[in-house]
Structure 1
């Protein structure tokens, strides 16, 4: 999870490969209307996000009986993460976080993505960082994708094992 440009897709794929789990790109679950809205520079509102979150939650729930999976999604608000956890209990979030200038530079450098850098301010305004009572870890996005992935794996290994 995290704002646009933090490397969710790249790190998500690397994390899934490292854990030998299936990976899904959260952007692929957006309806065409959402993509058109964001491409036009208009931020999504909650009504736009609910069907998207439900589709992501369905994908996650369908992996719950197996060994799990990794999916990239902004999940910027606590209520979004609560909705995902309600659909797929046991979900753990990796919150990719970093300096705004670094994230904007990375967004500006990527090619062929529908999310313009002009929406970064709205992403940060919407962001409710992962809270201490939410299962997950904060991971800084400075460095290479491989370094970020290694930090994520180390942080996940350090999480306490839940008890029933």
Structure 2
């Protein structure tokens, strides 16, 4: 295993809240405020560390992983799977870590929560992420629009069942 996973801490929540991604991925940026720190510490988030204990990313699950526009699109009506979200530290994106990062994060969730079915939502333009999810056994199950900072963004729902 390349990554280790641990519960989110206040220090790591503060660090993650400052991460800034390059365009067009910058809509994934968090706001640095107490509300976001509280969200990151709600029990649905955990940190990922590399082999020398450097924070490399995070995973979230449950309601914290859901995109608001997905409710109106009906993608969250089927409740027999776990919604997940994730993020790599911005300087680590596009460097070939994604496939293993996603695999090991899912393996960790399977072990911790005894879950075998997963759902995630990704911005449709984020083809590098979609490729990583497909490499990890996810299949596309639909698309919908959601407003992000006043702009309609198309999202793709993906499912992994095994």
Mark yes or no: TM-score above 0.5: no
TM-score normalised by the chain length of structure 1: 0.33
**Greater RCO between the two (CA within 8 Å, min separation 6)?**
1
Could you say which structure has the higher helix fraction?
Answer: 1
Could you say which structure has the higher strand fraction?
Answer: 2
